[in-house]
Amino acid sequence: MKLSIVISTQPASFSALAYKGKLSENIAKIKELGYDGVELAVRDPRLLEISEIKKLTVDQNFPVSAIGTGQAYGEEGLSFSDPDKTVRQKAIDRVKDQIDLANELNSLVIIGLIRGIVRRGANAAVAEQWILEALHECASMNKDVRLVIEPCNRYEANTVNTVDDGIKLVDKIGMSNVGLLLDTFHMNIEEPDILKSIENAGSRIFHFHIADSNRWYPGAGHVDFQKVVETLYKIGYEGFISAEILPLPDSDTAARETVKYMRKLIV
């Protein structure tokens, strides 16, 4: 298993990002701290110098573990479940741009908060159908790029909150390039037994986020990462473990403590 950390390519209000600001400096820093790769949170790929990002990462054998898309929802309100068809189409088009970016960087695309929040009074079944259709359309665009659905806790989302919800959705879509991203922070809130949930998801897991129970770096809360890592080995997971953590007490300490703690557990 390999270790990466989420950094933002563009200004963002989402808090669980260890680093925002100058990308080249942040990538150099996390390389020096001993990470194997970087996860990029991207609001709009069209505003990025993709060739520059490629030079800083894949061209130097420093992989991009995943492309996060949640900022398109957080900053611009684009979502797969918006009642307005134009907004839903914009969200789909944005994810297609993210898929092109992931193709270029040999990465995968996260479908987390971009699912949106189904509004009070809206028909949940209709919204879930929109989400399913959007996922199907995006996943069909380029079958070489993997999409990962992230179950997110009830305080941030109201569709696909649990791992079981995620498993059902992935199985319903039934495409080999659609899998799951599990996140210890969300699982700590929603799952009765995190280890069992990881086992149930099994080979559907294409990507994995770590944060402790308080969303600080691993070791700062009460998630049992030793058992989590053992379970990931047990199911044969070989992907990235990516730290999506608060920059507390400061970015450098959080990033450094993550490496220190996780390197004892993964090989």
Residues near Mn ion, by CB under 5 A:
183, 209, 244
Q: What is the dihedral of CA 181, 187, 193, 196, to 10 degrees?
A: 0
Q: Residue 247 binds which entry of ligand LER, Mn ion, none, with Cβ cut-offs from 5 to 8 Å by kind?
A: none
Q: By C-beta, is 37 or 70 nearer to ligand LER?
A: 70
What does 156-182 look like in DSSP terms, one character per residue? T-SSS-SHHHHHHHHHHH--TTEEEEE
Q: Residue 110 binds which entry of ligand LER, Mn ion, none, with Cβ cut-offs from 5 to 8 Å by kind?
A: ligand LER
Q: Which stretch binds ligand LER (CB under 6 A): 89-97, 120-128, 150-158, 259-267?
A: 150-158
* Buried/exposed 1-37: b ≥16 CB within 10 Å, e otherwise: bebbbbbbbbebebebbbbbeebeebbebbbeeebbb
User: What residue has token string 């953590």?
Assistant: 245
Could you list the active site residues? 150, 244
| The one among 105, 113, 131, 220 contacting ligand LER by CB under 6 A | 113
Closest distance to ligand LER from the beta carbon of 61 (Å) = 25
Indicate if the alpha-carbon torsion angle 237, 224, 109, 199 is positive or negative.
Answer: positive
| The one among 183, 190, 191, 212 contacting ligand LER by CB under 6 A | 183
Which of 235, 202, 196, 242 has the alpha carbon at shortest distance from 218? 242
* Buried/exposed 49-72: b ≥16 CB within 10 Å, e otherwise: eeeebbebbbeeebbbbbbbbbbb
Residue 118 is classified by DSSP as: P
| The one among 110, 163, 169, 180 contacting ligand LER by CB under 6 A | 110
Both structure tokens of 126: 């209709």
Q: By C-beta, is 89 or 158 nearer to Mn ion?
A: 158
Q: By C-beta, is 18 or 110 nearer to ligand LER?
A: 110
Q: By C-beta, is 55 or 212 nearer to ligand LER?
A: 212
Both structure tokens of 9: 């390519």
| The one among 68, 116, 151, 239 contacting ligand LER by CB under 6 A | 68
165 binds ligand LER (CB under 6 A): no
- Closest CB to ligand LER belongs to which residue? 112
CB atoms within 10 A of CB 265: 18
112 binds ligand LER (CB under 6 A): yes
Residues near ligand LER (CB under 6 A) are: 68, 70, 110, 112-113, 150, 152, 156, 183, 209, 244
